[in-house]
């Protein structure tokens, strides 16, 4: 008698037998699932959820019911910081290093090409234009052990969905799979997107070739369809979660939306509502990007509840830099006010460039409906997420600058604001505006010092009293300026930070405590 | 002045500067690239290249010019062994363990379901029906550290193309990405394929859903086109190699063809030639599968030469089990002669089931045009490939049974045939034929003992004198039978091998040295 291959009847011999033995074993790894919901270019006020002390006109303008829902179940962080542009933030998240150390200080895209805007005055350093990677000897990269790699090694199922932006095209860091992500949906070297529209194949030509370096890869099933990228990514993420549920490993989902990066395409599901409310075409489009992103958050929360996994899943909401406020092609004028009461926006050392909307929901651990006003910074996510995942084996190639904010989650007293936070941006970003330029910055307690490499100028703000950074009080507080300058200079030297140099003399710009 | 994002002119600031500094660094990792070209279900005689002492009628029938080309540049191994079915072989390759130890002794497909054919007499053990994985506490799996994971960790760029077959559907082992492969082209839980034909979407429905558990995933760009799966996989592999070349890491390409597994679809590029030569429809189809696979080998060799990477690339050719010879739907009758002079085929403990065509080309290391008649077995690939890759850090969760065959590559004197090789198959495969059934087997020097769990029968063959295993000489050589039975029994107990049991008594079948 011959049995054809794959015939159903050959497969049932011991299945009933096995089934009985399985139940007890299948939930052995009870560590929490973790969803890091990372939004791109979302400002601190791009939400109906007030992160400031009162509801602002921008909070009235936008509708983010699912962020409100998440906040009601978790803890808001009102002083959560990132870098002023994308790659530095995302590299710090992946590595636990401050950008001054990892030297991916501006945004990355093409191999061996700097994205620095040209300056007549300054020459910019040879920063890591190729980003990070996990292999040695790749020029202009920092070799690291990444967060998802460690999570994967510890038994997590690791899912990347959306924007990656960790390494230049044709370098090992361009691909999330090279960092231990087991699933990669639409992630590559690009940090922006050519189009949100399925009708436009998200920027790909119909012959399958990208029309731009920023065409979204990997969403071919949605090409030619009436669907927004935010929704397509969400549908794909949910497919990956459906699979993750079957694998019965704890999962780490890095849900990294391309939204709300330019282009400000209209998310038709929400656009007209904002027009009806009186917003301009541009600003109604921007609001629709936000609400589409918020719907995705809600869809994931619904999935968790439907699958009874909400109780054992941490959801972290974060953005990678401030809202874009310097670009008249995409935002209404006047510019630099789109993150009010914060000054300026993406690319700036001011709060508008670096302060982010952040929420953490963790049933049983984080008290619902609470706020934390202590500050933290993006590299702190690395040790914190490893703490959440109970990972003990966390040997890394790079030193870790971040500090776990687990105590802040648990709400106990914690003197967090006694440490300083540091930024270094020895680069020149594409646009101009307040606080935008080659700078280094320190935040310490209430105070913030910004040092401009080109001019040697220093600005001092009392962030607690002057969140809008309208009033430079450096003249009145020479001692504080000196203390912070020394603090910043010492830190930057300790991590071998880079600086620009002057074209005329060839001399490197002074450290902040040298002027 | 406002600079739009992604504007070309912003990207050139330091590129010329950087370019000069890069050249010296870019080739730092000079370890060899490795291509493991693994064919599915290919018999020892399914080639025009004679692995026996003389050219056989089957060698005359088939055309594999690229295997001949590879052999002329490398070393043929005439006694290379695998297991008799796919998953055990592939798991041994991935882990360095003998199948008796890893217990993935039959082929895997669905979660918690055994593929054992039912027996009236025997109950089969609870083998690892879910395959292997890299995470703990997954029922019916062996938790391992896999070959590609170690290669990736050491700095190799790891590419999977084609058949995986390491873990059941909805378990972590179903997906090559979970084993450290950075690229996965068309690999999943399935070990067969629904169709070779692009016109049939390789077994997928036009709505995107698979029509069968064995539909090939991941080749959507070729759906509806006049292309054979073997060619589509080759084109995709070459795309991955083009990318690998840019990454400038050494690469490991596991080129794992679905060919020449059933269904015996006609590869139109080659089919008619074999009909014209007088072969039947079935056998001409089979020959066309082989030549299509051989063309793929040639295309990869061409790519290496064109890119001047042939000198620093190891190419290993191997098959995972013997040629299918028990299936009248797909092969001409009489059955069990399709690997002649070897007896039987896939699924059998006889040479036809386990002896494979193997070639290694490694310029500068392996002398071209040579043959090695020492034996080796599939788990030896694991330590050998790590030796090739100069990997020193190879800590694994599993013990390693395989032995590196580097000395056999280098052609020095090596007393390889003094060790024994072992097989354990406490299962019942789908088809019937000579040597097919629940068996354990030992090869030692010239001798081979096959023990049948159900009947207690033992067969002894002198492989050197009787490659066709026509003459059981157990009666005449009682001492050898006893020695080999003890050798085999001791080994199986030492690795805690599984055995079937008798349904009537509930008693486990005796070890070979107990009868």
Domain that holds residue B388: 31-419
Contact criterion met (CB below 8 Å) for B365 and B388: no
User: With contacts defined as CB-CB under 8 Å, which chain A residues touch B431?
Assistant: 2-3
- Closest CB to B139: pick one of A12, A22, A327: A22
Contacts of A141 in chain B (CB under 8 A): none
In chain B, residues with a C-beta closer than 8 Å to the C-beta of A139 are 18, 21-22, 25-26
Residue where the block lists tokens 């509502």:
A273
* Chain A interface disruption, residue of B130, B139, B330, B436, most A CBs within 10 A: B139
Of B421, B435, B441, B455, the residue nearest B485 (C-alpha)? B441
Q: What is the pLDDT of residues B76-119, one digit of tens each?
A: 999 999 999 999 999 999 999 999 999 999 999 999 999 999 99
Report chain B residues whose CB lies below 8 A from the CB of A248. Answer: 138
With cut-offs at 50, 70 and 90, classify the pLDDT of residue B14: very low
Of B2, B112, B116, the CB nearest to A22: B112
How many CB contacts within 8 angstroms connect chain A with chain B?
A: 180
- Cα–Cα distance measured from residue A295 to residue A289, given in angstroms and rounded to the nearest whole number: 10
| Dihedral sign of CA atoms B103, B109, B114, B118 in order | negative
**Token pair for A490:** 């010492």
Q: What is the pLDDT of residue B27?
A: 52
| Residue B347 located in a structural domain | yes
Task: Identify the residue among A150, A247, A327 best suited for mutation to test binding to B, counting B beta carbons within 10 A and taking the highest.
Answer: A247
Q: What is the pLDDT along chain A (515 residues), one digit of tens a residue?
A: 333 333 333 333 344 444 444 443 445 789 999 999 999 999 999 999 999 999 999 999 999 999 999 999 999 999 999 999 999 999 999 999 999 999 999 999 999 999 999 999 999 999 999 999 999 999 999 999 999 999 999 999 999 999 999 999 999 999 999 999 999 999 999 999 999 999 999 999 988 778 899 999 999 999 999 999 999 999 999 999 999 999 989 999 999 999 999 999 999 999 999 999 999 999 999 999 999 999 999 999 999 999 999 999 999 999 999 999 999 999 999 999 999 999 999 999 999 999 999 999 999 999 999 999 999 999 999 999 999 999 999 999 999 999 999 999 988 656 667 899 999 999 999 999 999 999 999 999 999 999 999 999 999 999 999 999 999 999 999 999 999 999 999 999 999 999 999 999 999 999 999 99
Listing DSSP states for B206-222 in one string gives TTS-BSSTTPPPS-GGG
pLDDT at B209: 77
**The predicted structure's pLDDT at residue B414:** 61
The answer to the question of residue A378 being in a domain is yes
Record: contact B15-A137, CB cut-off 8 A? no
Read off the tokens for A315: 């959801």
Tens of pLDDT, residue by residue over B492-502, are 999 999 999 99
DSSP B4: P
pLDDT bin (cut points 50, 70, 90) of residue B201 is very high
Which residues from chain A sit within 8 angstroms of residue B10, using beta carbons? 115-118, 430
User: How many helices and strands (H and E) does chain B possess?
Assistant: 13, 16
Taking contacts as CB-CB distances below 8 angstroms, the residues of chain A near B171 are 247
Nearest to A29 among B136, B220, B247 (CB): B136
- Is A128 a domain residue? yes
Say if residues A343 and A73 touch (Cβ distance below 8 Å).
no
Residues B322 and B108: their CA atoms lie apart, in Å, by 18
Helix (H), strand (E), coil (C) string for A215-245: CCCCCHHHCCCCCEHHHHHHHHHHHHHHHHH
Dihedral sign, Cα of residue A430, residue A434, residue A437, residue A438:
negative
- Write a three-state SS string for B334-376: CCCCCCCCCCCCCCECCHHHHEEEEEEECCCCCCCCEEEEEEE
Task: Write the DSSP string, B408-445.
Answer: HHHT----GGGSEEEEEE-S--SS--TTBSSEEEEEET
DSSP 3-state assignment of A181? coil
Flag whether residue B20 sits within 8 Å of chain A, measured between CB atoms. Answer: no
Cβ within 8 Å, pair B11-A431: no
User: Chain A partners of B26 at a C-beta cutoff of 8 Å?
Assistant: 137, 139
User: Taking CA atoms, what residue in A is nearest to B262?
Assistant: A5
B22 confidence band (pLDDT: 50, 70, 90): very low
pLDDT at residue A206, as a whole number? 82
- Distance, in angstroms, between B423 CA and closest chain A CA? 22
| Residue A88 structure tokens | 């530095």
Residue A495 burial (CB count, 10 A): 18
Q: Is B17 a residue whose pLDDT tops 70?
A: no
Tens digits of per-residue pLDDT, A297-309? 999 999 999 999 9
CA B437 to chain centre: 21
pLDDT tens digits for range B504-514: 999 999 999 99
B492 in a structural domain: no
User: In 3D, which of B258, B216, B6 has the Cα closest to residue A108?
Assistant: B6
User: Is B30's Cβ below 8 Å from some Cβ in A?
Assistant: no
- A294 and B CB contact within 8 Å: no
Q: Do A498 and A106 touch, CB atoms closer than 8 A? A: no
Q: What is the pLDDT of residue A25?
A: 42
pLDDT tens readout for residues B206-236: 887 788 999 999 999 999 999 999 999 999 9
What is the rounded end-to-end Cα distance, in angstroms, of chain A?
A: 91
- pLDDT score recorded for residue B413: 58
Look at residues B134, B55, B506, B11 and name the one whose alpha carbon lies nearest to residue A213.
B11
A206 touches chain B (CB under 8 A): no
Give the CATH number of the domain where residue B143 resides. 3.40.720.10
Residue B289 and residue B40 in contact, taking contact as beta carbons nearer than 8 Å: no
Q: What is the pTM of this model?
A: 0.94
Q: A28: which chain B residues are within 8 Å (Cβ-Cβ)?
A: 136-137
* Residue B252, pLDDT score: 98
**Predicted pLDDT of residue A273:** 98
Taking 80 as the threshold, does the pLDDT of residue B482 lie above it? yes
- Closest residue, chain B, to A22 (C-alpha): B139
Tell me whether residues A139 and B247 touch, CB distance under 8 A: no
- Cβ contact A10–B117 (<8 Å): yes
Mutate to test the interface with A, among B4, B14, B127 (most CBs of A within 10 A): B14
ipTM score above 0.95? no
Distance from the Cα of A98 to chain B's closest Cα (Å) equals 23
Residue B24 has pLDDT above 80, yes or no: no
CB distance from A7 to chain B under 8 Å? yes
In a domain, B17, yes or no: no
Partner-chain contact A112 B183, CB within 8 Å: no
Interface test with B, best of A14, A116, A235, A241 (most B CBs within 10 A): A14
| pLDDT of res. A4 | 34
Say which DSSP state A47 is in.
S
* Residue A11 touches partner B, C-beta closer than 8 Å: yes
Nearest Cβ partner for B328 among A2, A126, A178: A2
Interface membership of A201 toward B (CB under 8 Å): no
Q: Could you tell me if A453 and A499 are in contact, meaning their C-beta atoms sit under 8 angstroms apart? A: yes
DSSP assigned state of B323: P
- Among B10, B118, B136, the residue with its CB nearest the CB of A155 is B136
Residue A216 forms contact with B (CB below 8 Å)? no
Q: Which residues of A are less than 8 Å from B209 in CB distance?
A: none
Does any CB of chain A come closer than 8 Å to the CB of residue B313?
no
DSSP symbols for B237-305: HHHHHHHHHHHTS-EEEEEE--TTSSS----TTTHHHHHHTT--HHHHHHHHHHHHHHHHHHHHHHHHH
Q: Does B124 contact A14 at a Cβ distance shorter than 8 Å?
A: yes
At residue B276, φ and ψ (nearest 5 deg) are -60, -30
| Nearest Cα to Cα of residue A282 among A263, A264, A270 | A264
In a domain, B464, yes or no: no
Nearest chain B residue (CA) to A328 = B2
> CB distance B246–A170 less than 8 Å?
yes
Q: Is residue B289 part of a domain?
A: yes
The answer to whether residue B23 is domain-embedded is no
Of A4, A15, A138, the CB nearest to B114: A15
Query: Within an 8 Å CB–CB cutoff, is residue B208 touching chain A?
Result: yes
The answer for A 133-152 residues in CB contact with B (under 8 A) is 135-140
Contacts of B208 in chain A (CB under 8 A): 221
Contact check, Cβ <8 Å, B5/A430: yes
Asked if the C-beta of B182 comes within 8 angstroms of chain A's C-beta atoms, the answer is yes
CA distance B121 to chain A (A): 13
Nearest to B28 among A109, A137, A328 (CB): A137
Of the residues B135, B173, B430, the best mutation for testing chain A's interface (the one with the most A CB atoms within 10 Å of its CB) is B135
Q: Stretch B332-357: mean pLDDT, rounded?
A: 98
- DSSP, collapsed to helix, strand or coil, labels residue A186 as coil
- What is the pLDDT, as a whole number, of residue A414? 61
| Cβ <8 Å between A15 and B213 | no
CA distance B11 to chain A (A): 5
User: Could you read off the pLDDT of B257-296 as tens digits, one per residue?
Assistant: 999 999 999 999 999 999 999 999 999 999 999 999 999 9
Whether residues B137 and A25 touch (CB distance < 8 A) is answered with: yes
Q: Give me the number of domains chain B comprises.
A: 1
């Amino acid at each position: 008698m011959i049995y054809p291959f794959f015939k159903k009847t050959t497969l049932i011999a011991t299945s009933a037998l096995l089934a009985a033995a399985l139940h007890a074993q299948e939930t052995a790894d009870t560590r929490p699932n973790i969803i890091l919901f990372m939004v791109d270019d979302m400002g601190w006020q791009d939400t109906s959820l007030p992160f400031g002390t009162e509801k602002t006109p921008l909070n009235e303008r936008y509708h983010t019911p699912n962020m409100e829902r998440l906040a009601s179940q978790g803890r808001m962080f009102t002083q959560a910081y990132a870098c002023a542009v994308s790659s530095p933030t995302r590299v710090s998240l992946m590595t636990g290093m401050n950008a001054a150390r990892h030297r991916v200080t501006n945004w990355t895209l093409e191999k061996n090409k700097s994205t620095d805007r040209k300056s007549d005055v300054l020459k910019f350093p040879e920063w890591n234009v190729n980003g990070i990677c996990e292999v040695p000897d790749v020029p202009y990269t920092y070799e690291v052990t990444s967060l998802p790699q460690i999570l994967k090694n510890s038994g997590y199922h690791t899912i990347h969905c959306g924007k990656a932006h960790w390494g230049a095209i044709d370098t090992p860091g361009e691909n999330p799979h090279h960092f231990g992500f087991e699933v990669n949906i639409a992630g590559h070297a690009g940090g922006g997107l050519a189009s949100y529209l399925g009708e436009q194949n998200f920027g790909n030509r119909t012959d399958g070739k990208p029309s731009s370096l920023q065409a979204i890869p990997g969403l071919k099933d949605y090409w030619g369809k009436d669907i927004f990228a935010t929704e397509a990514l969400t549908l794909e993420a949910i497919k990956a979660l459906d699979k993750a549920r079957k694998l019965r490993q704890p999962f780490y989902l890095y849900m990294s939306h391309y939204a709300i990066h330019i282009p400000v395409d209209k998310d038709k599901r929400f656009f007209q509502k904002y027009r009806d409310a009186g917003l301009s075409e541009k600003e109604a489009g921007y609001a629709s990007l936000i609400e589409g992103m918020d719907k995705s958050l809600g869809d994931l929360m619904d999935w968790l509840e439907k699958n009874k996994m909400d109780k054992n899943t941490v959801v972290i909401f974060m953005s990678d830099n401030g809202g874009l406020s310097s670009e008249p092609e995409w935002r209404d004028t006047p510019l630099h006010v789109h993150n009010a009461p914060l000054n300026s926006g993406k690319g700036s050392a001011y709060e508008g460039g670096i302060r982010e909307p952040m929420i953490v929901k963790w049933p049983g651990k984080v008290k619902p409906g609470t706020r934390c006003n202590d500050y933290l910074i993006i590299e702190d996510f690395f040790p914190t997420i490893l703490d959440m995942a109970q990972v003990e084996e966390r040997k890394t190639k790079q030193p870790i600058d971040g500090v776990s904010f687990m105590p802040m989650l648990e709400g106990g007293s914690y003197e967090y604001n006694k440490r300083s936070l540091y930024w270094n941006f020895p680069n020149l970003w594409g646009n101009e505006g307040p606080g935008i330029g080659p700078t280094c910055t320190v935040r310490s307690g209430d105070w913030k010092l910004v040092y401009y490499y080109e001019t040697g100028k220093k600005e001092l703000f009392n962030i607690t009293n002057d969140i809008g950074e309208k009033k430079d009080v450096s003249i009145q507080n020479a001692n504080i300026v000196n203390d912070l300058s020394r603090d910043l200079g010492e830190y930057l030297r300790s991590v071998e930070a880079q600086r620009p140099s002057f074209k005329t003399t060839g001399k490197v710009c002074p450290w902040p405590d040298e002027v």
